[in-house]
C-alpha cells in the first residue's frame, strides 16, 4: 500500500515535469515559426531586387531541388517509422530507422551545401544582390536547423544504444520527431515559394 502511494507521488512530479518540457518545446517551435515567417516575408519583399544580376529562373536547378525535396520528405517518413518502432519498444528497429533518417538528412544537407557552393563559385553569393542575401539567409537558416536536428539525432542514437527505450528517451525522441517534421514542413514552403514560384514568375 505504502509502496503504491510512494510510486504514485514519484510518478506525478515526473509527469508534471514532462508536461512542462513539452509545453516549453511547443513555445520554442512557435518562436521558430515566427522567425521563419519573418524570413519568408523578407524574401517576398526582396526577391525582385536582383540589381541587374541573374534571378531565380537563371540560378535555380529545379530538378536538383526536387531531388532534395524527395530526400527530405523520405527522411520524414523514416522518422515516423522510427517513432512507431519506439512506441512498440523495438530498440533495433528504432535505431535502424533513425540511422536511415540521419543518412537521408545528411544527404539533403550535402545537396544544399553543393548548391550554395555552385552559386558562390559563379559569383552569385549573398553579397551579389538583396535577392540573393534573402535567399541565402532563408535557406541557410533552414540548413542550420537541419544540422542541429542531425546532431540531436546522433546524440539520441547514442542514448538509445546505452539506455534503451526508457520513458525519458522516448520523450526526447518524440520532441526530435516533432522538430524534424516541422523542418520538413518549412522546406515545403521554401520549395513552393522560393523555387517553384521563383521560376514560374
Torsion sign across C-alpha atoms 83, 89, 90, 92: positive
Is the pLDDT higher at 16 or at 186?
Answer: 186
- Topology (CATH level 3) of domain 2-200: 1.20.120
Residue 7 has what pLDDT? 38
Cα–Cα nearest to 183, from 2, 33, 61: 33
pLDDT in tens, 35-70: 999 999 999 999 989 888 888 889 999 999 999 999
| 1 DSSP 8-state letter | -
- Measured CA to CA, the distance from residue 93 to residue 110 in angstroms comes to 26
Kindly list the distances between the CA atom of residue 85 and the CA atoms of 4, 95, 102, in Å, as whole numbers in the listed order. Answer: 30, 9, 16
Q: What angle do CA 125, 131, 132 make, to 5 degrees?
A: 15
Residue 20 pLDDT level (bands cut at 50, 70, 90): confident
Average pLDDT value for residue range 117-127: 95
Q: What is the DSSP string of 42-66?
A: HHHHHTT--TTS--HHHH--HHHHH
Grid coordinates belonging to 20: 512542462
The predicted-structure confidence for 73-115, as pLDDT tens digits, reads as follows 999 999 999 999 999 999 999 999 999 999 999 999 999 999 9
Q: Residue 4: what pLDDT?
A: 41
Amino acid at each position: 500500500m505504502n509502496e503504491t502511494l510512494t510510486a504514485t507521488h514519484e510518478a506525478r512530479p515526473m509527469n508534471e515535469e514532462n508536461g512542462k518540457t513539452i509545453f516549453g518545446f511547443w513555445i520554442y517551435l512557435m518562436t521558430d515559426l515566427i522567425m521563419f515567417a519573418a524570413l519568408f516575408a523578407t524574401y517576398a519583399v526582396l526577391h525582385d531586387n536582383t540589381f541587374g544580376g541573374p534571378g531565380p529562373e537563371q540560378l535555380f536547378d529545379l530538378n536538383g531541388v526536387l531531388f532534395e525535396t524527395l530526400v527530405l520528405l523520405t527522411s520524414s517518413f523514416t522518422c515516423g517509422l522510427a517513432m512507431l518502432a519506439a512506441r512498440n519498444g523495438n530498440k533495433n528497429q528504432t535505431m535502424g530507422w533513425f540511422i536511415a533518417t540521419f543518412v537521408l538528412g545528411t544527404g539533403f544537407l550535402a545537396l544544399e551545401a553543393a548548391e550554395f557552393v555552385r552559386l558562390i563559385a559563379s559569383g552569385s553569393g549573398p553579397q551579389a544582390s538583396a535577392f540573393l542575401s534573402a535567399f541565402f539567409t532563408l535557406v541557410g537558416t533552414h540548413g542550420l536547423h537541419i544540422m542541429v536536428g542531425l546532431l540531436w539525432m546522433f546524440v539520441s542514437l547514442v542514448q538509445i544504444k546505452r539506455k534503451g527505450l526508457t520513458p525519458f528517451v522516448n520523450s526526447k525522441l518524440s520532441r526530435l520527431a516533432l522538430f524534424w517534421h516541422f523542418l520538413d514542413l518549412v522546406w515545403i514552403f521554401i520549395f513552393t515559394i522560393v523555387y517553384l514560384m521563383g521560376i514560374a514568375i
